[in-house]
Structure 1
Amino acid sequence: MLSVQRMTPFFTSQEDFRLRLVFAYQYFSIIKGGEVFQFVPSEGKEIVINMKSLQVENLGEVFVFQRGNRFIRLPLYQLLLISDLHMHLTTILEGALDLEMEMPEVVTLEAVGIIEQLEADNRLRMIDYALETNNVNLFSELTEGLQEN
């Protein structure tokens, strides 16, 4: 397994709902077998994240790491699978989300609406259950809650 030693974007930009993280020399390094390999921007050099779904979009991008005359070429999807890259991306995203992002508020409001609807549907099912089982106490408790709302 690989571990990411350092992962600091050299440049970050946001276009619509995509966050681009561009990496350069000395800003990205991994540890494999106790040895540190430095990122070399010879092929892939950026990670594109969809801020709506929080998914990496360019999984085929190939990242190259070097130690002396040895090179490791890893597609981004493989780097995500065999390393702790997710933790580092999460830290970067938390910083990016603190910036002026409208999407989290919209998503939060939508989630709250869905939860409220599910709770209301569940309450109606519980009322039906109370009627079916002749549970007067449960029925009274559930209908009192409806009158308050």
Structure 2
Amino acid sequence: MLTVKTLKAYRIKVDIDYIYLSVSPPYFTILIEGDEYQFLPIEDKVIKLNRTSKKIENLNAKFAFQKDDEIIYITMTELISMSDFLNQLYLIAKDYYYQNTMEYTAPEIKCIVDELEHLNIKRMIDRALDNRDEAAFYTLLKLL
């Protein structure tokens, strides 16, 4: 049975597309059949995540772990099959992911701007009525 005991990022680097989580020995340990293995930085040391899709990009990465004189290698594909690894990884990276924002097309933007302009004219008509400005009122009515 393979489980993650500890997973913390030693360093987090972010660019426009990716999050790079560097791991180091005291912050990455796993349990195999109850025995604790500590990360050994002789192979890969970075977990690369896509900021938009939230997917792990370096699936071919191989991490080394050591207990006494025994060294074992675990691939990223083996690690991502463990839910506790994915949960801890998400908690580390969640603040760096891009938020889902609504994307609008040009016609939708034009429609939104037109609606805002229409609402603005209505407010200006209300203001003209409050100020008893008859000329402004009739001019603004023609814009509707």
Is it true that 1:69 corresponds to 2:62 in the alignment?
no
CA contact (8 A) 1:4 1:83 kept: no
CA contact (8 A) 2:14 2:96 kept: no
C-alpha distance in 2 between matches for 1:83 and 1:72: 20
SS in 1 for 2:101: helix
SS in 1 for 2:81: helix
C-alpha distance in 2 between matches for 1:62 and 1:46: 10
Identical-pair percentage: 29
CA contact (8 A) 1:6 1:28 kept: yes
Q: CA deviation at 1:96?
A: 3.1
C-alpha distance in 1 between matches for 2:83 and 2:41: 19
Is it true that 1:9 corresponds to 2:9 in the alignment?
yes
- Tell me, which stretches of 5 or more residues in structure 2 are unaligned? 106-144
Give deviations 1:85-137, integer Å, cap 9, x for gaps: 1011111122434xxxxx31xx2324x99xxxxxxxxxxxxxxxxxxxxxxxx
Corresponding pairs, count? 105
Q: What one-letter code is carried by the residue in structure 2 that aligns with 1:45?
A: K
C-alpha distance in 2 between matches for 1:42 and 1:8: 18
Match of 1:108 in 2: 101
Match of 2:29 in 1: 29
CA contact (8 A) 2:51 2:96 kept: no
Match of 2:45 in 1: 45
CA contact (8 A) 2:29 2:36 kept: yes
Aligned pairs for 1:112-123 within 5 A: none
CA contact (8 A) 1:2 1:84 kept: no
Q: How much is the aligned-residue C-alpha RMSD, in angstroms?
A: 1.9
TM norm structure 2: 0.67
- Tell me, which stretches of 5 or more residues in structure 1 are unaligned? 98-102, 114-149
Q: What one-letter code is carried by the residue in structure 1 that aligns with 2:101?
A: T
CA contact (8 A) 1:25 1:41 kept: yes
Tell me whether 58-67 or 88-97 shows the greater mean CA deviation.
Answer: 88-97
Match of 2:135 in 1: none
TM norm structure 1: 0.65
Q: What one-letter code is carried by the residue in structure 2 that aligns with 1:92?
A: I
CA contact (8 A) 1:9 1:27 kept: yes
